Structure 1
Amino acid sequence: MAIQISPSILSANFAHLADEVEAVARTADWLHVDVMDNHFVPNLTLGLPVVESLVKESSLPLDCHLMIEDPDRWAPTYAEVGAGSVTIHAEAAKAPVRTLRAIRSAGARAGLALNPATPVDAYADLLGEIDMLLVMTVEPGFGGQKFLDLVLPKIRRARELIRNSEASVWLQVDGGVSTETIERCAEAGADVFVAGSAVYGREDPGAAVDELRSLAERAAGR
């Protein structure tokens, strides 16, 4: 599968959000939107009204990562308002199969996220229900964290499970992805990369996306 880069607006300047989105519109594949509720994670960001506005203004499809309690209730609504991909956390969902199917029925790609300590093998049977598996490479809740190398074996295991299942599932990583770490993730088998400060902390965010993609493609042999 092709390498994809999904810049996270969590690291963008919210006072100039439209400009920040436009800065990556020509080079990125997705726009990553971190939705946090200050319950599932100790941080509060944005929610459905902002996502609705971004859907109307962004030329990039929205990749919504829901770090919230009760995703079974809320996740389908994000798909209904136009998000291209909606990811829920395995640790928070009470009825993941039903919720993942509801996301797909509403027209979005369905993603399942796993925290660093959550074993991937426990969710192997759900690969047929998802379009993307997100392996967190930091503890969720805050941007700018240091990449956790201990997750690399889990990325490799996730790629092995996906390959053995013959399911068409993207493997995303999120947390501490930068020019120093993206090659390790690509070598381990990831093909979709969320990058926040590595994109929006640069003078030219669009060029930063190009650099990250080039590094990942080289590491993956593409």
Structure 2
Amino acid sequence: MTALSASLFAADPFRLAEEIDAVLSNVESLHLDVMDGIFAPEFGLNARIIRDLSERSSTPLDVHLMIAKPKHLAIRFAEMGVRSIAIHLESDDDFVEISRIVRSNGTEAYVALRHTTPVSVLLEMADHSDGCLLLTAPAGGGAFDEHAFTRLAQRPAGLYTVVDGKIGPDHFESLIDLQVDLAVVGAALFDGDDAKERAKAFSRMLAGHQVS
């Protein structure tokens, strides 16, 4: 079954607590984008928000580091007790070293790849990661990558897979067929005043149920 994760970067920052409460009962986890304006052309959620969430919420927290030098923050978030940290193989720091430290703290480490990086590199990281996060749009925003499903079909068999980037309900059937484990949904979930009903509908769709 493909599960649903809510990307809080797409939520209304002035109503963040309300937006979280609206979707919590129908999502498997909360996805937290951290961006530095360098690796990705935007600035994402900050450490204080993630720390407060880790202290107040029992919902699993997945951190996605789209930053040039992720080592320091990866260690910091692992010490907060988040469930997983996705670290880009294209960043300046050594993924294997960061993964070792993160996993020693009981946090899962995922290899994150830009939508243009060949998925064949995942084979080299199999012994150093707990799964992968494949961007299906450019880091920080942009249109859905038309080659995303082809790339997903090329990933190593049995690898826990998260997809992130302009995912919407039109993509769910293909994600289910490709046995993607976790679909991160942002704008399609929070774009409007009915996030609660959308989360309920999206969760059922990803579970393979027909929405009435």
- Provide the TM-score with structure 1 as the length reference: 0.87
Alpha carbons of 1:105 and 1:93: their partners in 2 closer, same or farther (altered >3 Å)? Answer: farther
Q: State the secondary structure of the residue aligned to 1:46.
A: coil
Q: What are the equivalent positions in structure 2 for 1:1-222 lying under 5 Å apart?
A: 2-142=1-141, 145-158=142-155, 161-163=156-158, 169-218=159-208
Per-residue CA distance 1:65-107 (angstroms, 9 max, x = gap): 0000111232121111121111111100531111112111112
Identity among equivalent positions (%) equals 29
Using a 3 Å threshold, how does the CA distance of structure 1 residues 140 and 79 change in structure 2: closer, same or farther? same
Q: By how many angstroms is 1:33 displaced?
A: 0.6
Measure how far apart 1:174 and its partner are. 0.5
Q: Distance in 1 between matches of 2:169 and 2:112?
A: 23
Corresponding residue pairs, total: 209
Give 1:149 deviation, angstroms: 2.1
Query: Which ranges of structure 1 fall in alignment gaps of 5 or more residues?
Result: 164-168
Preserved CA contact (<8 Å) 1:174 1:193: yes
Separation (CA, whole Å) in 1 of partners of 2:128 and 2:198: 33
Show the counterpart of 1:166.
none
2 CA distance for matches of 1:93 and 1:120? 19
> TM-score when scaled to structure 2?
0.91
Deviation at 1:192, TM superposition (A): 0.5
| Per-residue deviation, 1:8 | 0.5
Decide whether the 8 Å contact of 1:88 with 1:113 is kept in 2: yes
Contact 2:3–2:207 (8 Å) recurs in 1: no
* Kept after mapping to 1: 8 A contact 2:9/2:45: no
Please, which moves more after superposition, 195-204 or 6-15? 195-204
- For residues 45-68 of structure 1, the C-alpha deviation after alignment (integer angstroms, 9 at most, x for no partner) is 222122111112323111110000
Write the distance in 1 (CA, Å) between the matches of 2:92 and 2:207.
33
- Distance in 2 between residues matched to 1:93 and 1:133, nearest whole Å: 18
Distance, in Å, in 1 between the alignment partners of 2:154 and 2:204 is: 24
Deviation at 1:204, TM superposition (A): 2.7
Give the CA RMSD over aligned residues.
1.7
Amino acid at match of 1:73: H
* 1:202 shift after superposition: 4.1
C-alpha distance in 2 between matches for 1:213 and 1:148:
23
| Mapped partners of 1:141, 1:3: distance in 2 | 23
Aligned-pair distance for 1:123?
Answer: 2.4
Q: Secondary structure at the match of 1:45?
A: coil
Q: Write the distance in 2 (CA, Å) between the matches of 1:153 and 1:70.
A: 29
